[in-house]
Amino acid sequence: PEGDHEAFGNLYRNFADAILARREGKRTDEDFPTAVDGARTMAFIEAALESNAAGARWVRVKDHTH
């Protein structure tokens, strides 16, 4: 779809800018998904699969970030 290339380009640019800033000892706002964001997303997907397997009952999303 339209915009995909630009969206990923922005993510990669922001990530590269953050790497360069850290090398120079500067702080930046992280304007891209982090490993913690990925862990939370995977925990949500695991809970959705568990809920489905249990007949669509509510389940707690586990926090794997600690």
CA distance 60 to 43: 10
Q: What does the pLDDT look like over 48-65, one tens digit per residue?
A: 999 999 999 999 999 877
Give the three-class secondary structure for 3. Answer: coil
Q: What does the pLDDT look like over 4-38, one tens digit per residue?
A: 999 999 989 999 999 999 999 998 887 888 888 99
Q: Enumerate long-range contacts of 57-64, CB under 8 Å, 24 or more apart.
A: 64/39, 64/40
**pTM of the predicted model as reported, rounded to 2 decimal places:** 0.65
Question: For residue 15, what are the contacts with CB-CB under 8 A and spacing of at least 6?
Answer: 32
Q: Is the CB of residue 61 less than 8 Å from the CB of residue 47?
A: yes
